[in-house]
């Protein structure tokens, strides 16, 4: 049973994913994540990681400069708000296109090299963009302050349609629906579902097969007389467009763009999300993005008082020690947790959380994976019954 190139299993996965995304406010409320600000972040960084995964997961090219595309997307979206309209649709369209163009230029040069040289090249380009955004490009990027909306922006399209925001600073709205709170989340959520669908199609397509072939052995592909560069470049551009879209959505939910989004640590973050979830799997990157953003939110809100309550069942001296030790890892020290978690994942579970889930399932189910599991268990990177 096939429909649009995907079999029944894929459709179950896709529909399950959509349902979980759309019911997010209900599903995630028991763990304290059922509010739109955080869910929005899940969706946006999910898109970013999905795109990164198309490059890294499928072709194996480790880019350390993807934050540049995110930043470019944000700047483009804010400029669209300023010049054209507060409607998010033109903003994200332009963000995606400019992200794609930008990545086409960088990818065209960087893909001449592979391995660590590729990583360094992308890193170099991203750092160049970051440094330029901070210094010479200040007329476009507004430097350290960050690009912001002002009351007297032209907004040509809005003016032509006779919309007037009065004397307040406008926020983005989709045909009258304000893009804050739940509408904002649903806008991002629908984008995430669309992106997931595209990513699913790419994974199951001959093109995706070709990208995996590039990852497994590029030399062999070259010896069979095939030029792999166009395939890798296409994957690079697609992932750049995803990043541009994610950047655009960041600007939609909060119309502000700063250069720090392009810094190389931001590129490191998306690598982390993808690895944590499981590079080369469909769901992994989204899960990784969700887990990191969730714990970032929870852990950085912890303080000594909450910790003392948590360890209140212990004797006082022991409680004091536990609070001292664990306070290193929460609040300001959240990055320490992140770094340690990251190391543990790379050391013990190179396949990420998806690999972990598969291992746990294999403990209980003796038959090989691939049954009609629901949601997360239905995709294995190699099994592709196409």
Partner 1 sequence: MDAILLQILNGLDKGGAYALIALGLTIIFGTLGVVNFAHGALFMLGAFCAVSIKAVLGLEKVTLDPTQTTAWGTPLEIRQPYVEAWFGDLGATLLEYSVPVSILIAIPVMLLIGIIMERGLIRYFYKRPHAEQILVTFGLAIVLQEIVKSIFGANPIPQPAPDSMQGMVDFGAFLGHEAGNVVYPIWRMTYFLFSLGVIGLVFAFLQFTTFGMVVRAGMADRETVGLLGIDIDRRFTIVFGIAAIVAGLAGVMYTPILSPDYHMGMDFLVLSFVVVVVGGMGSLGGAVLAGFMLGILQSFASMNEVKEIIPGIDQIIIYLIAVVILLVRPRGLMGRKGVMEG
- 109 lies in the site for partner 1, by CB under 8 A: yes
Q: 317 is written with which tokens?
A: 């001296």
- Applying CB under 8 A, among 28, 48, 94, 125 the residue interacting with partner 1 is 125
Q: Find out whether 128 and 72 touch, Cβ atoms under 8 Å.
A: no
User: Which CB sits closer to partner 1, 87 or 267?
Assistant: 267
Q: 380 is written with which tokens?
A: 């294995």
Shortest distance, CB of residue 106 to partner 1, whole angstroms? 10
Residues 341-360 that bind partner 1 (CB under 8 A): 342-343, 346-347, 350
- Applying CB under 8 A, among 265, 305, 317, 366 the residue interacting with partner 1 is 265
Residue 110 CB neighbours (<10 A): 25
Residue 168 CB neighbours (<10 A): 7
Give the position of tokens 């970032």: 296
- 169 lies in the site for partner 1, by CB under 8 A: no
Residue 380, classed as helix, strand or coil, is coil
Q: 48 is written with which tokens?
A: 């970013």
Q: Find out whether 63 and 213 touch, Cβ atoms under 8 Å.
A: no
- Applying CB under 8 A, among 44, 195, 259, 271 the residue interacting with partner 1 is 271
Shortest distance, CB of residue 147 to partner 1, whole angstroms? 18
Shortest distance, CB of residue 129 to partner 1, whole angstroms? 9
Shortest distance, CB of residue 132 to partner 1, whole angstroms? 6
Residue 6, classed as helix, strand or coil, is strand
Q: Find out whether 290 and 42 touch, Cβ atoms under 8 Å.
A: yes
- Applying CB under 8 A, among 154, 230, 339, 370 the residue interacting with partner 1 is 339
Q: 253 is written with which tokens?
A: 């939910």
Residues forming contacts to partner 1 in the complex (CB under 8 A) are 60, 62, 109, 112-121, 123-125, 127-128, 131-132, 134-137, 264-265, 268, 271-272, 275, 328, 332-333, 335-336, 338-340, 342-343, 346-347, 350
């Amino acid at each position: 049973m096939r429909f649009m190139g995907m079999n029944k299993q894929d459709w179950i996965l896709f529909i399950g994913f959509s349902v979980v995304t759309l019911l997010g406010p209900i599903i995630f409320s028991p763990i304290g994540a059922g509010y739109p600000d955080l869910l929005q972040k899940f969706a946006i960084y999910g898109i970013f990681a999905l795109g990164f995964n198309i490059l890294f997961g499928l072709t194996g090219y480790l880019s350390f400069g993807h934050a540049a595309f995110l930043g470019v997307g944000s700047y483009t979206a804010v400029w669209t708000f300023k010049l054209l309209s507060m409607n998010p649709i033109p903003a994200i369209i332009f963000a995606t296109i400019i992200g794609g163009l930008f990545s086409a230029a960088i990818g065209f040069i960087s893909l001449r090299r592979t391995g660590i040289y590729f990583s360094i090249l992308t890193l170099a380009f991203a750092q160049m963009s970051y440094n330029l955004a901070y210094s010479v490009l200040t007329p476009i990027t507004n430097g350290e302050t960050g690009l912001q909306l002002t009351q007297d922006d032209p907004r040509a399209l809005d003016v032509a349609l006779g919309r007037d925001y009065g004397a307040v600073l406008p926020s983005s709205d989709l045909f009258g629906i304000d893009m804050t709170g739940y509408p904002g989340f649903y806008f991002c959520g629908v984008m995430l579902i669309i992106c997931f669908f595209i990513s699913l199609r790419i994974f199951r397509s001959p093109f995706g097969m070709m990208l995996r072939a590039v990852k497994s052995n590029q030399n062999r592909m070259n010896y069979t007389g095939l030029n792999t560069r166009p395939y890798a470049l296409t994957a690079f551009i697609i992932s750049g467009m995803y990043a541009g879209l994610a950047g655009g959505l960041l600007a939609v939910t909060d119309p502000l763009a700063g250069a720090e989004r392009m810094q190389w640590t931001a590129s490191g973050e998306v690598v982390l999300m993808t690895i944590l979830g499981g590079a080369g799997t469909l769901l992994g990157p989204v899960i990784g993005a969700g887990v990191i953003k969730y714990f970032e939110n929870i852990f950085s809100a912890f303080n000594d008082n909450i910790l003392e309550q948590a360890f209140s069942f212990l004797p006082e001296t022991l409680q004091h020690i536990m609070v001292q030790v664990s306070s290193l890892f929460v609040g300001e020290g959240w990055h320490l947790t992140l770094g340690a978690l990251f190391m543990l994942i790379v050391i013990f579970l190179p396949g990420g959380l998806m690999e972990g889930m598969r291992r746990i399932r294999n403990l209980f189910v003796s038959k090989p994976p691939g049954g009609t599991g629901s949601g997360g268990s239905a995709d294995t990177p190699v099994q592709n019954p196409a």
